[in-house]
Structure 1
Amino acid sequence: MKIIAQSENIEDFLDSDFIYVDKTEYIYNLVKNYKRVFFSRPRRFGKSLTLNTIGTLFEKGVDPYFKGTWIYDKWNQEKYPVLHLSFLEYSATDLNAFKKSLCQPIRDFARLNNITDYTDDNEPSNLIRNIFTVMQDQMRIVLLIDEYDRQLTANINNKELYDKFRFCIRDFYGVIKGKKQIKFMAVTGVTRLKDESIFSVGSDILDLSYDHFFSQMIGFTREEIRKFYIDYLKLGASYEKGVDIDSVTDVDIEQFLDRIAEHYDSYCFDRKYHNKVFSTYSVNNFLHSIVSDKEVYFGDYWYDVGGLPSILMNYMESHNLNINRLLNSEIEIPYNDFMNPTSLIDINENVLMCQTGYLTLRSEIVPGYDIILGPANREVRTALFLLLSLKIFDTNNSAFSLKNRYVFENGTVEDIIALFNDVLSTLSYDKYPVDNESVLRALLQVYLLGRNLDVRIEQHNCKGRSDILVNFSKRRVVLELKYTVKTSEEQQKLKDAEQQIIEKNYGLENLQDRELLQIACVFNGDKDKRQITVYKKVDL
């Protein structure tokens, strides 16, 4: 089996026999048709590898790194020097340190390409202008800028420093705008900001973030995973089915891909809402774990690295997210809010979550019409609600300890209610008062979703919909919630909840051979109680 890559340098793929998912046809068409482009994608999606691939093609050609790829016998570009700047490597807390870090690779580039006699300067915009001025008239370069917005996202709660970085970046782009010395330019970042002081001066940069043709250039398609990772799919299916690898069928592989898709697929960067992709980072880590752990385990990789939670964590320090909206599978956003966000300081929260990968397109993009967003898959939904849990609950409480991991899957009704009450006791009631049934349901759903449980919210059947349904391989837990502030009403509310479960047959749909645990419960919101006070296991 070839090795799954842990590198963003295309040269390592040949040297270490890494799997390379061939994206060179996209790159060929990109370079052929455009001069200056911008792509927005979440972190750890493959932007850096894409830029490195472009840079290697321009600087070194196709030999030996691209043998066996689509582009090998088609690339006929001359070689050009490449200035590759990664803003991830530069300070995001000290403007002067940032300028110093940015200027050094520009100076190194000039030295390595025998560009001399320029006037040195500590301002990046002045330095690159001075270098362009003394370049030979026929000389052309390729300019690649990775994670252009790193310093902006890091200062989402520091407007003064945010603006300082913004002005510096604006000046830098203003200098390189339209320069004939640039043969090709590509810029990547997490966020798409149409701030007039940044992208207006660089308006010759074409934003291809939601371009239909290039929507699958970054990220894996199902067909690519099947083609390039077939050995890993066979191994994973063999573990799941308990059979030898040679006994794995095409149907087994498709079913295994369905499972992978549930967790890691359905990111859409296509304005036509046709094409979708898997998270590259998550798929690579998942498939690698099959070999290293010798079992199939669908881990959550997005929150720790791929989702760049620092952006949202910083945002949430000064903003409250609308929990009820996030619990909906579809969130409508005005067209202009989505397409033309101006600044991270006042960006629509759901647009920010889409740009960072917590939400994705659920509709086509049509000028003048609202755009629909929603969670892409189970992994990012878990990451989103884990992030919300950190804001809403005191997660240092014992309710969030590892010992409670299997309470819902294996515990008694008493265990489950006790855990719910422990969780609710960690709430900041002044910020998140539980004053009705809807709020209670939303808060419990945030907790359960953040635990990576298979939670079905308001699960429909032919007779109605339950408040909360949680699926496990051998058990299904159904909860019907009622709210009161009067102790005298508790028993009647409990009876109402029990009767509703019985009449509506909650949890019976597609039950298969699972144990069904149906629980009616009542939360008393009186300030002296604030807990589930009465509950009952329902027996049909």
Structure 2
Amino acid sequence: MNGKIYPIGIQNFEKIREDGYFYVDKTAWIYQLVKTGSYYFLSRPRRFGKSLLISTLEAYFQGKKELFEGLAMEKLEKDWIKYPILHIDLNTQKYDTPESLEDKLNGVLYEWECLYGTSPAEKSLAMRFEGIIERACRKEGQRVVILVDEYDKPMLQAIGNEELQKSFRETLKSFYGALKSKDGYIKFGMLTGVTKFGKVSVFSDLNNLDDISMRKEYIEVCGISEQELHDNLEQELHEFANAQNITYEEICHKLKMYYDGYHFTYNTVGIYNPFSLLNAFKYKEFSSYWFETGTPTYLVTLLRLHHYDLEQMAHEETTADVLNSIDSASTNPIPVIYQSGYLTIKGYDNRFGTYRLGFPNREVEEGFIRFLLPFYANNIDRVETNFEIQKFVREIEAGDYDSFFRRLKSFFADTPYELARDLELHYQNVLFIIFKLVGFYVKAEYHTSEGRIDLVLQTDEFIYIMEFKLNGTAEEALQQINDKHYTQPFETDKRKLFKIGVNFSAKSRNIEKWIVE
């Protein structure tokens, strides 16, 4: 029996410590935060430990010294002062009307007013918040600590609804404005969220907020680093390897490939997704744990809304300014996808100040692409995706290219008209998704240039070289394979080689013909 109890889905520091759950010590970073600044903002993907960070700060500011026994904080902190704490968690509500946010804030303020009193002059939410901060400080004789968990939940739920987002933005902007107007009564403030909405929006008045999301010294404040993995779970790594019937080296490599790879700025250690990692240790199984806890459909809405070329996603380039802020009116889906944890920083070009992005790991890449398929291929649902890909892979491995293309044809059968307007992009996106998914099981290389696609698929027995044309002919596509000597790298290969020319017709909105040589 494994000795450790993993705190899956438990975000309360006190519960984790009192009930003996496994905990990776983050308290040295918390001490550093508290002693070197007073207002912070941190963005991290969902299930990355933000709520636990807020809960740990809360226990610290409540002076609960006994919870920190044996942790770094025990040696660092000498004073253990108890402060009044105003903790807001915006995670728990559905925000679909302007009133839904006001009701939530009103409920929070009412609770605090029961503790610290009210003033009839305070009419608006922001004025009530200001009054509470001041009274709490006077009553307790200590300045106030303000902790906000998932500050951006209302804004995220309103993506695509400009009017609602504007309403939420104005409400939150004046509400959080109290942090600035009552600065003298505040000891410390921390706001966390998945995304950072642009400077012009919610935080425009809070120019004293230190955004540590991309700061090197705080990269490890959430999530688990390679070092922490080995420091805390060494014995369990051996047990996991035994359960999987593979070597210690193999289990380390596989965990890294599946769950590591988050880089929140350049030249820093990779961070493992804590939710997936702990689940994998608990069940001694590899699975898409993080992915299956709910991928936001707003990401797909954004990609389709902006006619995004999916092939570009794995090597997108951008600047820190773009990554750091989401403007609700922006036409670029990349910042939201990056901040939501589906892309991460892969490289940095110092000369131009640009970041290169890509998928962090196999769990996210495979999960995300699989998630996309039903949205792009109309006649397939999420349950079927797996089976369809299995069938594709089996047909490729059996050399049965006719069945393969008939199945591919069915994916384009009901191309919705709004996608058909940009047919070339739509057909490229669907092909990209399918070949990417097939590529997790067979070797696939995918090249595209000016709307043409050539593809190489390799199995143990076969090599397929395919060229796709839009509104040309299958014969032309095949001719191109021969003219450009695409088969050259495989001339000495013993495997059976197929050259396949495919034409796609805009009129029928589908594959019109394929020929094989």
Q: TM-score, normalised by structure 2?
A: 0.85
In structure 2, relative to structure 1, the CA distance for the partners of 1:86 and 1:529 (3 Å cut) is closer
**Cross-structure match for 1:275:** 269
**Cross-structure match for 1:248:** none
Say whether the 8 Å CA contact 1:87–1:146 is kept in structure 2. yes
Aligned pairs for 1:334-345 (under 5 A) are 334-339=319-324, 341=325, 343-345=327-329
What percent of counterpart residues are identical? 22
Aligned pairs for 1:106-505 (under 5 A) are 106-112=109-115, 115-119=116-120, 123-137=124-138, 138-177=141-180, 179-241=183-245, 252-270=247-265, 272-290=266-284, 296=285, 298-305=286-293, 308-316=295-303, 318-326=305-313, 329-339=314-324, 341=325, 343-346=327-330, 348-364=332-348, 369-396=353-380, 400=384, 403-411=387-395, 412-414=398-400, 415-428=403-416, 431-432=419-420, 442-450=429-437, 453-454=440-441, 458=445, 467-469=455-457, 475=460, 478-484=463-469, 490=474, 493-494=477-478, 497=481, 500=485, 502-505=487-490
* Secondary structure of the corresponding residue to residue 118 of structure 1: coil
1:506, 1:128 → 2: CA distance?
Answer: 74
In structure 2, relative to structure 1, the CA distance for the partners of 1:348 and 1:105 (3 Å cut) is same
* Secondary structure of the corresponding residue to residue 362 of structure 1: strand
* Secondary structure of the corresponding residue to residue 72 of structure 2: coil
2:492, 2:287 → 1: CA distance?
Answer: 27
How far residue 106 of structure 1 moved from its aligned partner, in angstroms, is 3.1
1:530, 1:424 → 2: CA distance?
Answer: 6
Segments of 5+ residues of structure 2 without an aligned counterpart are 448-452
* Secondary structure of the corresponding residue to residue 337 of structure 1: helix
In structure 2, relative to structure 1, the CA distance for the partners of 1:459 and 1:444 (3 Å cut) is closer
How far residue 413 of structure 1 moved from its aligned partner, in angstroms, is 2.9
How far residue 317 of structure 1 moved from its aligned partner, in angstroms, is 5.9
1:57, 1:421 → 2: CA distance?
Answer: 60
CA deviation string 1:356-412 (max 9, x = no partner) = 111111234869622222211122222332343233211436994554352244343
In structure 2, relative to structure 1, the CA distance for the partners of 1:19 and 1:57 (3 Å cut) is same
CA deviation string 1:67-107 (max 9, x = no partner) = 22222222233111221111112341132232222232333
1:439, 1:103 → 2: CA distance?
Answer: 46
Say whether the 8 Å CA contact 1:141–1:182 is kept in structure 2. yes
**Cross-structure match for 2:105:** 102
How far residue 221 of structure 1 moved from its aligned partner, in angstroms, is 0.7
Q: Which stretch of the first structure deviates more once superposed, 175-184 or 31-40?
A: 175-184
Q: Which stretch of the first structure deviates more once superposed, 155-164 or 391-400?
A: 391-400
How far residue 424 of structure 1 moved from its aligned partner, in angstroms, is 3.2
How far residue 32 of structure 1 moved from its aligned partner, in angstroms, is 1.2
Matching of residue 522 in structure 1 with residue 508 in structure 2 = no
In structure 2, relative to structure 1, the CA distance for the partners of 1:318 and 1:517 (3 Å cut) is same
In structure 2, relative to structure 1, the CA distance for the partners of 1:535 and 1:260 (3 Å cut) is farther
Say whether the 8 Å CA contact 1:325–1:331 is kept in structure 2. yes
How far residue 492 of structure 1 moved from its aligned partner, in angstroms, is 6.9
Say whether the 8 Å CA contact 1:40–1:190 is kept in structure 2. yes
1:422, 1:36 → 2: CA distance?
Answer: 55
Q: Which stretch of the first structure deviates more once superposed, 154-163 or 348-357?
A: 348-357
* Secondary structure of the corresponding residue to residue 301 of structure 1: coil
Matching of residue 80 in structure 1 with residue 79 in structure 2 = no
2:446, 2:335 → 1: CA distance?
Answer: 27
How far residue 230 of structure 1 moved from its aligned partner, in angstroms, is 2.9
C-alpha root-mean-square deviation of aligned residues, in Å? 3.4
In structure 2, relative to structure 1, the CA distance for the partners of 1:397 and 1:186 (3 Å cut) is closer
1:507, 1:207 → 2: CA distance?
Answer: 56
In structure 2, relative to structure 1, the CA distance for the partners of 1:190 and 1:102 (3 Å cut) is same
Say whether the 8 Å CA contact 2:463–2:496 is kept in structure 1. yes
Give the partner amino acid of 2:431.
L
Say whether the 8 Å CA contact 1:125–1:171 is kept in structure 2. yes
Segments of 5+ residues of structure 1 without an aligned counterpart are 243-251, 291-295, 509-514
Q: TM-score, normalised by structure 1?
A: 0.82
**Cross-structure match for 1:56:** 59
CA deviation string 1:482-530 (max 9, x = no partner) = 235789x64574476489564321997xxxxxx9675432222233583
Say whether the 8 Å CA contact 2:219–2:264 is kept in structure 1. yes
CA deviation string 1:225-283 (max 9, x = no partner) = 222233432222113336xxxxxxxxx3233121111111111112x432220111121
> Number of paired residues?
499
Q: Which stretch of the first structure deviates more once superposed, 383-392 or 354-363?
A: 383-392
Give the partner amino acid of 1:181.
Y
Give the partner amino acid of 2:354.
D
* Secondary structure of the corresponding residue to residue 444 of structure 1: helix
CA deviation string 1:132-170 (max 9, x = no partner) = 343454431211001111000111111111011100110
Say whether the 8 Å CA contact 2:474–2:515 is kept in structure 1. no
Aligned pairs for 1:19-38 (under 5 A) are 19-38=22-41
CA deviation string 1:430-481 (max 9, x = no partner) = 6257977x97665323124357825665379xxxx9724477xxx5875322
Say whether the 8 Å CA contact 1:445–1:457 is kept in structure 2. no
In structure 2, relative to structure 1, the CA distance for the partners of 1:287 and 1:451 (3 Å cut) is farther
Say whether the 8 Å CA contact 1:389–1:395 is kept in structure 2. no
How far residue 173 of structure 1 moved from its aligned partner, in angstroms, is 1.5
1:277, 1:167 → 2: CA distance?
Answer: 35
Matching of residue 2 in structure 1 with residue 41 in structure 2 = no
How far residue 26 of structure 1 moved from its aligned partner, in angstroms, is 1.0
Say whether the 8 Å CA contact 2:30–2:57 is kept in structure 1. yes
Give the partner amino acid of 1:125.
A
* Secondary structure of the corresponding residue to residue 458 of structure 1: strand
Q: Which stretch of the first structure deviates more once superposed, 252-261 or 51-60?
A: 252-261
In structure 2, relative to structure 1, the CA distance for the partners of 1:240 and 1:507 (3 Å cut) is farther
* Secondary structure of the corresponding residue to residue 65 of structure 2: coil
**Cross-structure match for 1:246:** none
* Secondary structure of the corresponding residue to residue 408 of structure 2: helix
* Secondary structure of the corresponding residue to residue 177 of structure 2: helix
2:217, 2:511 → 1: CA distance?
Answer: 53
**Cross-structure match for 1:534:** 514
Say whether the 8 Å CA contact 1:399–1:419 is kept in structure 2. no
